[in-house]
Amino acid sequence: MSHSNELLRAVTRRHFFQDCRVGLGGMALASLLDGGRTVAGDAEDRATNPLALQPTHFAPRAKHVIYLFMAGGPSQLELFDYKPKLQELNGQTIPDSYVEGKRFAFLQKDAKLLGTVRKFARYGESGTELSECLLHLAGVVDDIAVIRSMKTDVFNHGPAKLFANTGSPQFSGRPSMGAWVTYGIGSESDDLPGFVVLQSGPRGPRGGAPLWSSGFLPTTYQGVPFLNGADPILNLSNPAGIDQAAQGEFIDAVTDLNQLRRAAVGDPEIDTRIAAYEMAYRMQTSAPELMDLSGETAGTLDAYGVDPAAPSFARNCLLARRLVEKGARFIQLYHTDWDHHGNDGTHLGEPLDARCAETDKPAAALIADLKQRGLLDQTLIIWGGEFGRTPQGEPRDLIGRDHHIDAYTMWLAGGGVKGGQTIGRTDEIGYEVVEDLVHVHDLHATILHLLGLDHERLTFRFQGRDFRLTDVAGHVVEKLIA
């Protein structure tokens, strides 16, 4: 699965714009799924459909991915990883042995250890320990696998988010995980993008569009952000005075011109542009239908906590389920404002309560809903942020925790994951991993593995060498796999 020819791309794109003379207004319709690049792949039908299904390296356990990204760095010590010793040492200076040679975003070496006021209990047959902030997740805890031993390399938000999503902390045009996945195996949806991005919270995540970019992969594989409302995609609706029939005639005319050009120059990438126009035309109906929740039952809306008229993480979770039903391959939900350095003075009080109130119920409902519909086994759900939070409190007027890259928590469910277990362990104050360390590259390798892809074989040649999502690292976390 590797091929690239940047010179051919540049030349054929220039010839298309110069010689086909369709006009920029028409090009906007296809800008979401840019077919103007040579598409890498093994199957011949990618020439006409870049998102055509591709063979996997081995039998997949999952067919779809829903990545619930909590942008800002949720505190594992308030949510998943209770430390009695940290409670005992609350207010004391952390020993030098822990911080020697370490770098933090804002902390000094003499920062005081900070216990939590959150109550923890064990839930389900598995006895998984969770905070009182996650009472809805507690109801489906036997379906999730909690990883308490995550580690990343980057302690600033933007680069850390980029690392979590692309495997690289540098804003240098690396493809996101969703792009790699749709490039690797295509999509089952004929009428919607294979990779969809939904956002909630007061603002978008730091890092922005590079988090769901296709990077050096063909633009076809980039994430398509959906907006809230009847018109979820910019530039998709017909211009004033153009009805569906007229738009169809326009698409047919563009297709004819493209086919003439294809016959003249023998460039197969023009077939991809034809497919892009046709996909955009189909999306004019399918995308608004996706966003229309009028057919959902009152019970379903209540289970997620959805107000159909109001944008929210809950609404996006329900849309994620609907996207899975329509065959979308990779759905990424970004929920922001988890950056809790300080608040009302009650140990990550109101901000944490608010974020958990917005996300706990719908995330649990998503698991239960997919399971009830027989879709959980084929849908991999991932929950987590770009890093965790320190055992030390920050010396601010309002108490909180700093960024922590050496030990944090994520959870996974469905799609071949062995639920009802906790993987990994941190030391007695939650500072470092002491058992079953899982690096970001390991998580990426495992996600690809569950989708039937060998992370070392899913490559793309660019600037003279083969690239992959996991760079030159990564190991499959066998304990995660059912």
CATH code of the domain covering residue 138: 3.40.720.10
pLDDT for the residue numbered 271? 64
Query: Does position 42 have pLDDT exceeding 60, yes or no?
Result: no
The band of 274, judged by pLDDT with boundaries at 50, 70 and 90, is low
Q: How much of the chain, in percent, has pLDDT values that exceed 90? A: 63
Q: Kindly state whether residues 215 and 78 are assigned to the same domain.
A: yes
Q: Kindly state whether residues 441 and 470 are assigned to the same domain.
A: yes
pLDDT for the residue numbered 381? 98
Q: Kindly state whether residues 335 and 369 are assigned to the same domain.
A: yes
Q: Kindly state whether residues 335 and 365 are assigned to the same domain.
A: yes
Q: What does pLDDT average to over the chain? A: 85
Average pLDDT over residues 177-191: 95
In a domain? residue 300: no
Two tokens, residue 172: 């240098």
Count up the domains in the chain and report the number: 2
Average pLDDT over residues 433-454: 98
Q: Kindly state whether residues 428 and 283 are assigned to the same domain.
A: no
From the list 96, 148, 37, the residue with the least C-alpha distance to 425 is: 148
pLDDT for the residue numbered 97? 83
pLDDT for the residue numbered 41? 44
pLDDT for the residue numbered 256? 75
From the list 130, 143, 80, the residue with the least C-alpha distance to 384 is: 80
Q: Kindly state whether residues 319 and 365 are assigned to the same domain.
A: yes
**Which pTM was predicted?**
0.86
Range with the poorest average pLDDT among 162-171, 177-186, 207-216, 241-250: 241-250
In a domain? residue 299: no
Query: Does position 4 have pLDDT exceeding 50, yes or no?
Result: no
In a domain? residue 128: yes
- Domain of 330, in residue numbers: 50-230+305-480
Q: Kindly state whether residues 430 and 394 are assigned to the same domain.
A: yes
In a domain? residue 474: yes
The band of 47, judged by pLDDT with boundaries at 50, 70 and 90, is low
In a domain? residue 201: yes
In a domain? residue 270: yes
Query: Does position 237 have pLDDT exceeding 90, yes or no?
Result: no
Q: Kindly state whether residues 218 and 283 are assigned to the same domain.
A: no
Query: Does position 49 have pLDDT exceeding 90, yes or no?
Result: no
More confident residue, 14 or 260: 260
Query: Does position 85 have pLDDT exceeding 70, yes or no?
Result: yes
In a domain? residue 44: no
Interval 332-379: pLDDT, tens: 999 999 998 865 444 566 788 999 999 999 999 999 999 999 999 999
Q: How much of the chain, in percent, has pLDDT values that exceed 70? A: 80
Q: Kindly state whether residues 138 and 64 are assigned to the same domain.
A: yes
In a domain? residue 34: yes
Query: Does position 463 have pLDDT exceeding 70, yes or no?
Result: yes
pLDDT for the residue numbered 260? 80
More confident residue, 80 or 106: 80
Q: Kindly state whether residues 317 and 256 are assigned to the same domain.
A: no
pLDDT for the residue numbered 21? 35
Query: Does position 456 have pLDDT exceeding 50, yes or no?
Result: yes
Residue 100 CB contacts under 8 Å (≥ 6 apart), including other chains: none
Q: Kindly state whether residues 253 and 213 are assigned to the same domain.
A: no
- Of 291, 318, 333, the residue at which a domain comes to its end is 291
* CA angle centred on 430, ends 428 and 435, rounded to 5°: 80
Q: Kindly state whether residues 11 and 127 are assigned to the same domain.
A: no
| DSSP state, residue 47 | G
pLDDT for the residue numbered 88? 96
